[in-house]
A and B are shown apart, each in its own frame.
Chain A
Amino acid sequence: MMLQVASDPLMKVENLVVEYSVGGKTIHAVSDVSLEIARGETLGLVGESGCGKSTLGRAVLQLRQAVSGKVLFDGHDLTTLKGEALRQMRRRVQLIFQDPIASLNPRRRIGDIVAEPLVIAGVKDPEERKRRVSEVLSAVGLDPVLVSGRLPHEFSGGQCQRICIARSLVLNPEFVICDEPVSALDVSIRAQILNLLEEMKARYGLTLLFIAHDLAVVKAVSDRVAVMYLGRLCEVAPSEQLFARPAHPYTALLIEAIPVPDPDVRPTQSVPVGEPPSPIAPPSGCRFRTRCPRADARCASEVPELRVVAPGQYAACHHPLV
C-alpha cells in the first residue's frame, strides 16, 4: 500500500496495529494503519468515537505500545527507541488534549506549568526558562506578567487551551498532535483557538496531526484529511477533494450527517439506521459493510485495501463512489 505524499515525510506510520485487552477480550483499536505526513502539512484525522483516532495519536507518541508496525519520525523508528533516546525524540513531538482544564495541574502556577517541559529537558538557567515562557505565552495571546503567577482555575476553558498550546510549544517542537483541541470549547471561543493554531503553525513551522470528530473543524485547518472507521482508514484525500467528491461511502455518510446552519437545507433522511459494531468483534472484510448501502458478498469476505481512486485520493472500498 503506497501513500506517498512527499519524498521526505516528517512522520510516517507503517502498518500500525494497536490492541487492548479488556476483560480477556481484545479490542482492535488500530488495525494496519499507514499514513504519511509531509513537513509543514496539517493532516486531519476524523472519525466517530471509538474509531481509534485518539489511540492512533497516542501510539504515534509511544504513549500506547503498538502490537506491530513502525512509527518513523524524521527517519527514526520511535517504536524501537527507549529511555533517553525516546525522550530526546519526544521533545520534538508534542500533544494537545481535548479537555484543557483537566490537562493543567490545578495546584501549580501557569508560569511553572509552561516551564515544566524546559525543566524536564534540562534547561538549567531560570532566566532562560523565564524568557522562553514569556515568549510562548505572548505568542498565544496571553500577557506573561499577568498570567504567570495565577492558577488554572482562574482561567476560562479557552484561556486554558491557550496555556496548553503555549506549553506544547515551549520546547520548539516540529510536530504537534492536536487531539480534539476545540471540542470542549464554545463556538465563539473555538474559532479563536483554531485561528491561533494556524498562526502558531506558521510562526513555528509546525507539522500537525489534527484529530477531531467534527468535519467542518477539520476542513478549516487541514491540507489533507484521513477518515477512520472502527480502527481502519477508509479514505485519505486533499481536504477540498474529500468534501467535494468523497470516494468512501462512510465519508459520504459523515458529510451528509453534518447539520448545516441554513434553514433552506432540509436535513437528509437518508442516513441509515444502525450504529458502529463493537471493536471487540469487528465485521469480517470491510468493517463498514454492516451500515453500507453498497455492501455485497465481496465486502464480507475481502478486506478492501487503500488504493488510488483519483490523484492524491485513496479509498479502501470495493465499490467506491468515484
Chain B
Amino acid sequence: MSGALLSVENVMVDLPTPRGNLRAVDHVDLAVGAGRTLGIVGESGCGKTMLSRAILQLLPKKAKLSGRVMFDGQDLTGLSAEKLRKLRGRSLAVVFQDPMTSLNPVLTIGTQLIETIQEHLELDLAQARQRSIELLAAVGIPAPEQRLAQYPHQLSGGMRQRVAIAVALSCEPQLLIADEPTTALDVTIQAQILDLLAREQQRRHMAMIIITHDLGVVAGRTDEVAVMYAGRVVERAPTPALFKRMRMPYTEALLAALPKLDVAPHTPLPAISGRPPDPTRPLKGCSFSPRCRYSAGRCTTEKPQLSPAETQEHVYACFHPIAAGAGA
C-alpha cells in the first residue's frame, strides 16, 4: 500500500522448536497510515504478538524473519542495531500488556521518563522534567509532580499502564503499538485507558496498532481490523465492514462465541469446537477447516488466499465465505 506509514510485506517468522519448525507468522501483509488505527485480533498462539515483535525488530534471537517491514520509507529488517535503537522509542513506540515489563522496578517514574526523553530529544534536564510532568498530566495521573519521585510498585496497575503510555508517548512517536494494553486491567480502568489511547492518537495524529484478543476492544476504536488465525491474516476490513459484512467463517464464529449482554441467561453459546492446530504441524488446507462448519471439498487440501470482497479494502481467505450481508 503506498502512502502508508508502516507496511508489512509478506512477513514470515519461523521459530525453531524441539518439535520442529514453528511458523508463527505466515505471509502477512498489513499497512497503517498516519492518524489511523489498525486492530489485530486473534486468540493466543495466532501469531499476533510475534507479528508486533517482527515490526519492532524485537524477535527472539533464534527466530528467522523474511519479508519487508517498511516504516517511513525504510526497511526495518535491514537496519543496524544502533539505527533501530534510535528509531524505537523515538518514532516507534510500544505499550505492552503488563506495564511492569516495560517499566524498570528499581528506577523512579521520573528517571525513566526523563531518561527516555533525553535519549531521543535535545532537551536539558529541567526541560525534560517539565515535559515529563506534562505527559503524566496528559495521561490522567493526579499530582504528576509528586509521582516523578515514586517507583512503579507504588502505583496501581492502571496507573502503571498510564505511566507506560506516557513513556511511549514521550518522544511524539509516529507509530504506537499497543499489545493487549488493557488485558491485565479491570473493566472500568480498561475503558479509561482505551479512551486515553484514542484521545492521544487523535491529538498527535499517530498511527496506532492495537493488538487484542477482544473483538469488543477493537469495535469502536479502530479504523481497520485484521483477524489472525494460525499465523495468517484470514480477514481484513474496515471496522464497520468487518462486523457487518464479515465473510470469513472464523470471524463469524469468534463473534458468535462471545457471551452477549442482550441474550437471556442459560442460552447455550455457539462454541467453536476443537482447538487451533499445532503450529509445528501445518495443515495442507485452510487452518480453520477442522473446526469450520462450512468446510467442504478443497478446504482440506488447498490453502485459500486472501481475495477481495465487495471492496479492495476488504479481503478474506475462504473458499466458502459467508454470503455478503448474511453476517451478524
Contacts and interface: CB of A to CB of B under 8 A. Distances in A.
Given A219-B261, A267-B194, A259 B189 contact: no
B136 to A, nearest CB: 14
A220 B259 contact: yes
B218 to A, nearest CB: 8
A199 B195 CA distance: 39
Given A258-B261, A263-B243, A186 B43 contact: yes
Interface in B239-276: 239-240, 243-244, 253-255, 257-261, 263-273, 275
A255 B261 contact: yes
Contacts of B244: 263
B187 A263 contact: no
Contact of A271 (B192, B217, B253, B267): B192
B187 A258 contact: yes
Contact of A260 (B198, B216, B269, B275): B216
A189 interface: yes
A302 to B, nearest CB: 24
Given A186-B43, A219-B259, A267-B194, A259 B265 contact: no
A22 to B, nearest CB: 14
Contacts of A187: 43, 213-215, 254, 257-258
Interface stretch (A76-84, A109-117, A209-217): A209-217
From B43, B186, B243, B263, residue with most partner A Cβ within 10 Å: B186
Given A186-B43, A191-B272, A258 B186 contact: no
A266 interface: yes
B188 A254 contact: yes
B295 interface: no
B259 A258 contact: no
B110 interface: no
B201 to A, nearest CB: 14
Contacts of B270: 191
A49 interface: yes
Given A258-B187, A275-B158, A194 B259 contact: yes
Nearest to A269: B195
A253 B188 contact: yes
Given A49-B186, A192-B273, A275 B156 contact: yes
Contacts of B195: 267, 269, 271
From B194, B265, B272, residue with most partner A Cβ within 10 Å: B265
A198 B239 CA distance: 33
Interface in A212-232: 213-217, 219-223
B219 interface: yes
B53 interface: no
A297 interface: no
B261 A263 contact: no
Contacts of B269: 191, 194-195, 220
B194 A259 contact: yes
B190 interface: yes
Contacts of A220: 259, 263, 265-267, 269
Contacts of B190: 257, 259
A298 to B, nearest CB: 24
A240 B261 CA distance: 9
B100 interface: no
Contacts of B301: none
Interface in A263-308: 263-269, 271, 273, 275-276
Contact of B192 (A213, A216, A258, A273): A273
Contact of A188 (B156, B187, B257): B257
A272 B295 CA distance: 47
B147 interface: no
Contact of B261 (A158, A213, A216): A216
Interface of B: 43-44, 140, 156-159, 186-192, 194-195, 198, 213-217, 219-221, 239-240, 243-244, 253-255, 257-261, 263-273, 275, 291
